[in-house]
Structure 1
Amino acid sequence: MLYQQTALISGASSGIGLALTKELLLSYPFIQIVALCRNPETLQQLKRSYGDRVRIECIDFTNRDCIKSLQNVVNQHTHFSYLIHCAGVVMPFGDISNVAPDEWEATQWINVEVPRLLTQICLKKFSHSRVMFLTSDLPVQPVAGASAYCVSKASLNMLCQCFQLEVDNDIAVFTTVVPGNVDTKMQETIRQASNRALPASELMRSMFSANKLLPPRLVAQYLRQLLSDVTPNTFGSRSWNLLESIVEVSPAKQTKTDSIDTRATETSLVELASLVGGAFWSPGSAEYEENRKVFNQGVSRFPLVIIQPKTKTDIIHIVKCAKQLRLSITIKGQGHGVSGMSVLNNAIVIDMSMFKTTVLNVDKSSVNVGAGVKNSELDHFLAQHNKVVPLGTCPDVGVVGATLGGGIGFLSRKLGLSCDNVLAFGLITADGKVKQVTESQHAELFWALKGCGHGQFGVVTDITFKLHDAPQNIDGRILEWPLCHARSILRQYSEIVLSDNRSVFLYAYLSRSTHDKARISIMGFSEDSVHGLESVAKWQDGAELLSRRSQYVECQSNNYDSDLNLYWRNGIIEGELSDEFIETLLSCYRACPVNSGGFMLDPLCGAIQDVNADGSAFIHRNASFVCSITGITQFERDDTEVIDWVNKSFDLLSPFFNGHSYQNYDMGNGSPLALYYGQHTARLKLLKQQYDPTGLFISSLLRPD
């Protein structure tokens, strides 16, 4: 199998290296880890869980012949996205005058020469890659008894700077990271040293006793964020120090990554704050803590600053300042997304909550909607005028964000996707200019914004939609049957979706549940008074009616539970739901940890397929269903088992998928671009280069293909 990304990690069998290996495997389903280690036993469990995604290479760096082995390993791969140097030694301890030459040379060999040689070997395998050296703050202040270690780490810092100077950023960007005092085998070695040989060992023992050493998993989360969440320019702009990035929070408020902050220096931001008319929140304030949160409680990130602009002029000031300071921007709309990519470490977050306008044109044929408006707000506004825009069914989702990724809902089979009903986008681009993007003005951008996902080419401030008359004869229901009827229900569900009845829209789902209460559910919407949901209720005896609604706005109320960790993957199905697919789906559902996950099927077809496959950036025109796999945990719970279930279920169901996924249901940054953009990937990347050449707006299009 070809993997979208490959990470080469030295010292991967213990301490920070092992924790980072686990963190990357859990976070990114399309990454392969090449683990260089001396003790492969500790990696065997990961190998059993992740199979070919973990490649264990047993290499002893104390042996000078290890370079030949490293060369052989590197030659077996075409590209490394990441190279992380975690291997190192801290010995020998004692007065510098008593350190034997062979001991000194051994330390320099492992801590400096091996990283240098391994990096040189990998240079031909790099393209837009990232290289990270784990170092120490000890060289800033020499430590008695640790001269060999201090000198080696000082040399490693200089080595990184030389690579930065001499290697083009298009090949690789380099940085060093000071992880702080971490509870690892190396720390244990330090604590076991005598005060006479290493006076600092007493401090390390007291820190250990006071539980002040950082856990390796916390450090691994920090490193993973640096590797994936910051731009290349930011990654290579400084030496990172976790100790300087710690945010003090009370234990009651801590979550998985609440004590990590990758803030850059806050230069010139005071001047920006004076220019912006809206809210401006920096780390440390209660407003910052509240507004950095995203819907998925499994995601916790720390932007440089969060700004809530009031006007387009405010946004222009933010864009120009960020460009001048070489900072990056993410855009936070309203509602929720699973990957939480609207809030990233070390970025300026533009929160569009204050853009709440909804303006109906004179003849009620169109409506202009601000980027802070939610589905429910637009639905209720238009209901006063007996009009609709086809939107998704969750009232708390932002209209603009959902539309940029496509927008599937009850009216899609009749009226098309949300993006199919756009007349114009208001857009502020990376050059600080306001553009009205329509089919006749900036036509390529208009094509791209219909399905590319949010935040790719600039700040979308508003969208103008064409309007339709509101449906009059509504039958909205949620029906359930015992799980034993799932095969029959899903077969009939498949038939009705593939029929040409555009007035009926049905979701099918298997919700999280205890095994004894598991049900198959249909959430339906119909304007067909003859072949409506009465016929669906007759698919199988024993249907339980959970709710019934007779107004369109009532139907638009598919709420989701909050304060949960979510893990969501999805695939696209063309054609029918085969018996083999249904059996595999049910088998995966039964294997789910109790009350921790489920599946949902969105129907496509109908008017969605009326648009040519190349008519917009949305690629799923020929598809029939979106199949979502969702894992859910309380945020205090260990989520490893649930994440494994989501990934294994996706792997088992993948043979029934067409190789693509729906933009609005994931866009996690470990996924390949072609998964979401297919044949449009190259075209979209060229547009990104044209309208945002420096990558000011962090987006999926900045990833390598």
Structure 2
Amino acid sequence: MAGNWTGAVGSTTGMRGALSDQAIGVLAETFRGNLIRPGDAEYDAARRIWNGMIDRRPALIARCAGPADVMDGVRFARQHGLPLAVRSGGHNVAGTALCDDGIVLDLSGMRGVRVDPIRRTVRVQAGVTNGDLDRETQAFGLAVTSGIASTTGLAGLTLGGGVGWLMRRFGLTCDNLLSADLVTAEGQLITVSPDTYDDLFWAIRGGGGNFGVVTEFEYRLHPLGPNVVAGLVLHPAKHARDALRFYRDFVREAPDALGAIVNLRHAPPAPWIPAELHGAPVIAMTVCYAGPVDEALVELAPLKRFGSPLVDTIERTRYLSHQRLFDPTVPSGWRYYWKSHYLHELSDQVIDVLVTHAWRDTSPLSYTLIPLMGGAVSRVAPDATAFVGRDGAHLININAVWTDPTEDDEHIAWAREFFAATEPFSTGGVYVNFLGNEGEARVRAAYGANYARLAEIKRRYDPENVFRFNQNIAPAGTT
């Protein structure tokens, strides 16, 4: 057989939707990647993703080696009436990369990156992570907006929009997308761009994985690095109210080059934090300046001067290093539960809510991130792409994080209570990549005024809702 079939005979006995050896054998004849079934030595490792809360058991995990494998996998799922999930980075908090009793198309091994430094573009396969992309593009002093953890998959990031340090200067990740190769619900490979399948090209820039399996992306690149001015100032939580008021005023007229995230948490055991502060409640104001070093030092001087910071790491540093700053606090396998929405502003009322709830967290691993929006993000019309969350000044993501499954209820309750307290100050929208399994109303809030148009495109290209393991948009005319 051409494919690497590691399945054990009869290994799916008793499972709903079990696949016969004969069916797997037919797929394996042309499949270049690996086919993994329950009972195989690799199975348990292959079905693990970033969020340790997710425990699902697919009937088949198809590790794709290229677009042809993806095409065959989609057709196979339809032929056998199987649920179909798509895994790229496996970093989605809702666990949409996995399904029970169906087939998972695992694209995580497709990690090719090809930079064209003359045209300032890059072509990226669907399994590439933020870290992979940054490593290759920084070799040429180029970059595109990517996420804030190097282990996050670029595919899901792009399809949901793409929030990151560079978005205020260069736009969201999806705003820099030039074209994409996509496998449709019929198993056909097409290229979508402003000139071909322009409706699909519009939809995949913020509409999630509803419309097909993207196997390759092409992005516009921008000059940046290898050095930037970046880092954080750390203040004790007892000064958080004053710090947040200062921060609000500091960023209000900030240049587009300033990327900023507030982090409310207990100090992690990082080597650059004194040991006596480990575990202490703190507020971190973290920045990355996507502009000239001399300009950055001037613009960031007020932030460095404010108060008496416990730690100040803001300095000239490699962009690659800064992109890995949050990695140690978001390892694979921990349990994660998120609640998120956009905020109109950091008003005094909002600040009071933040200070009241952030350090009531029930786990020392939990934290609250507040990325600064605006800049280039807000200058794109809300209907120019499927991504609609362009009117909020700030994005809040309440992250309950823990390791013991017996403690699920108490940590989830903290996140929900905190979220409810901030809800009166929300725009009503939510960043789809920060959305958990929260029901149809929240999905509609994520897509906002673009929902009806997205549903019509879904009806046109995926009327049977083959691609439904996502923040799902039902095809127009269905319920």
Q: Give 1:700's aligned residue.
A: 471
Map 1:471-620 → 2, pairs under 5 A: 471=225, 474-512=228-266, 517-526=280-289, 527=291, 528-546=295-313, 548-557=315-324, 558-559=326-327, 560-574=330-344, 576-595=345-364, 597-620=366-389
Structure-2 residue corresponding to 1:688: 458
Aligned residues with identical type, % of pairs: 28
Of structures 1 and 2, the larger Rg is shown by 1
Tell me, in whole angstroms, the C-alpha distance in 1 between the residues paired with 2:141 and 2:127.
22
Structure having the higher helix fraction is: 1
Task: Describe the superposition over 1:359-395 as per-residue Cα deviations: whole angstroms up to 9, x where unpaired.
Answer: 2237242111000111111111111111111211211
Q: Which amino acid aligns with 1:517?
A: A
Query: Letter of the aligned partner of 2:240 in structure 1?
Result: A
The answer as to whether partners of 1:335 and 1:374 remain within 8 angstroms in 2 is: no
Q: Any idea what the Cα deviations from partners look like across 1:89-113, whole Å, max 9, x if unmatched?
A: xxxxxxxxxxxxxxxxxxxxxxxxx
Going from structure 1 to structure 2, the CA distance change for 1:529 and 1:641 (only over 3 Å counts) comes to closer
Query: Partner residue of 1:294?
Result: 49
Distance 1:633 1:667, change over 3 A: closer
Structure 1 residues 428-467: aligned runs within 5 Å: 428-453=183-208, 455-467=209-221
Which digits, 9 at most, give the CA deviation of each residue in 1:269-307, with x for residues without a partner?
Answer: 331122211000001112111011111111111111100
TM alignment of 1:233-382, pairs within 5 A: 263-267=16-20, 268-361=23-116, 363-382=118-137
CA distance in 2, matches of 1:262, 1:678: 39
8 Å CA contact 1:497–1:624 kept in 2: the answer is: no
Contact 1:263 1:303 in 2 (8 A): no
Output aligned runs, 1:61-210, within 5 Å.
none
Paired letter, 2:393: S
Q: TM-score, normalised by structure 2?
A: 0.88
Give SS of 1:701's match. coil
CA RMSD, 1 decimal: 2.3
1:677 pairs with 2:447? yes
SS at match of 1:275: coil
For residues 234-271 of structure 1, the C-alpha deviation after alignment (integer angstroms, 9 at most, x for no partner) is xxxxxxxxxxxx999xxxxxxxxxxxx96412132331
Report if aligned partners of 1:549, 1:555 keep a CA contact under 8 Å in 2.
no
Q: Which amino acid aligns with 1:653?
A: T
Deviations 1:113-144 (A, max 9, x none): xxxxxxxxxxxxxxxxxxxxxxxxxxxxxxxx
The structure-2 alpha-carbon separation of the partners of 1:313 and 1:669, relative to structure 1 and needing over 3 Å to count, comes to farther
Counterpart for residue 272 of structure 2: none
Deviation, 1:702, is 4.7
Partner of 1:104: none
2:7 matched to which residue of 1? none
Q: Is contact 2:248–2:346 with CA below 8 Å preserved after alignment?
A: yes
Equivalent residue number for residue 422 of structure 2? 653
2:143, 2:405 → 1: CA distance? 41
Counterpart-to-counterpart distance in 1, 2:28 and 2:171: 42
Asked if the contact 2:229–2:297 (Cα under 8 Å) also holds between the matched residues in 1, the reply is no
Provide the C-alpha distance between the structure 2 equivalents of 1:472 and 1:318, rounded to a whole number of angstroms: 40
1 CA distance for matches of 2:232 and 2:16?
46
Paired letter, 2:302 = S
* C-alpha displacement of 1:596: 5.0
One-letter amino acid of the structure 1 residue matched with residue 333 of structure 2: D
Change (3 A) 1:486 1:540: same
What secondary structure is seen at the aligned counterpart in 1 of 2:367?
Answer: strand
What is the alpha-carbon distance in structure 2 between the residues aligned to residue 290 and residue 561 of structure 1? 16
- TM normalised by structure 1 equals 0.61
Unpaired stretches in structure 1, ≥5 consecutive residues? 1-245, 249-260
Which residue identity is paired with 2:162?
G
Report if the CA contact (8 A) 1:428-1:458 is conserved: yes
Task: From the superposition, tell whether residues 664 and 449 of structure 1 become closer, same or farther in structure 2 (CA, over 3 Å).
Answer: same
SS state at 2:406 partner? coil
Partner of 1:203: none
Residues 321, 594 of structure 1: alpha-carbon distance in 2 compared, 3 angstrom cutoff: closer
Partner Cα separation in structure 2 for residue 613 and residue 539 of structure 1: 36
- 8 Å Cα contact 1:423/1:466 also seen in 2: yes
**1:630 paired residue among 386, 393, 399:** 399
- Does the CA-based 8 Å contact 2:92-2:156 persist in structure 1? no
Relative contact order (C-alpha < 8 Å, sep 6+): which is higher?
Answer: 2
CA contact (8 A) 1:487 1:582 kept: yes
Residue 409 of structure 1 deviates from its aligned partner by 1.3
Query: CA separation in 2, counterparts of 1:581 and 1:477?
Result: 25
SS of 1:535's equivalent? helix
SS of residue matched to 2:384:
coil
1:389/1:467 contact within 8 Å kept: yes
CA distance in structure 2 between the aligned counterparts of 1:499 and 1:262, rounded to whole angstroms = 58
> Does 667-676 or 435-444 show the bigger shift?
667-676
Gaps of 5+ in 2: 1-10, 268-276
- Alpha-carbon distance in structure 1 between the residues aligned to 2:248 and 2:440: 28
Compared CA separation, residues 693 and 433, structure 1 to 2 (3 A): same
Q: Secondary structure at the match of 1:509?
A: strand
